[in-house]
Structure 1
Amino acid sequence: MQTTQHCAETRRAATEPHQFPSLDLVNRPTVPTEQAAYYLNRRPQTMRGWASAETFPDGLRPVRINGRLAWPVSGIRSALGVQ
């Protein structure tokens, strides 16, 4: 039986959250689920559940593009109360 050796960098990459730019610096109309979850302090799976059950906050309706969810930046800002 072989054991797999993981380097410290691999372990760190699996446990550290992604770092996304500040919401003020985002100039795209939509962001992917992981980035939206980061800004809203939620898990990506929560965002997917909102989209599936259509229980997202007002103004935050996601757009489906080729089977993937894209979350409007304006909706994220309104959900956070930031303009």
Structure 2
Amino acid sequence: MQKVIDQKFQPIEQEIRSHIPTKDAAHHLNRKDQTLRTWACFENGPIKPIRINGRLSWPVKEIKKVLGVEV
């Protein structure tokens, strides 16, 4: 069986942005958007976002670290 790759999202290994929006981060972490929002609200997740004008932005470096892509 072939794995279907969602063409909407760039592989995390090729991500050049320093921070990504919640939807992108949730996709890479295989979690729902709301899970990441909960982590941000309660500050209890493995990654802490920054807030820019009320929006969450997730550090790509930390996502890669959690996924074991980059040390």
TM-score of the pair, normalised by structure 2: 0.85
Which letter maps to 1:82?
V
Give the Cα–Cα distance (whole angstroms) in 1 for the partners of residues 39 and 25 of structure 2: 12
User: Could you tell me which of 31, 54, 68 is aligned with 1:67?
Assistant: 54
The alignment yields a C-alpha RMSD, in angstroms, of: 1.4
Q: Structure 2 regions of 5+ residues with no counterpart?
A: 1-5
Q: Percent of pairs identical after alignment?
A: 46
Structure 1: runs of 5 or more not aligned: 1-16
SS, match of residue 47 in structure 1: helix
Count of residue pairs the alignment pairs up: 65
Q: Is the 8 A contact 2:25 2:63 kept in 1?
A: yes
Structure 1 runs (4+) deviating above 6 angstroms are none
Secondary structure in 1 aligned to 2:8? coil
- Cα distance in 1, alignment partners of residues 63 and 52 from structure 2: 18
TM-score by length of 1: 0.74
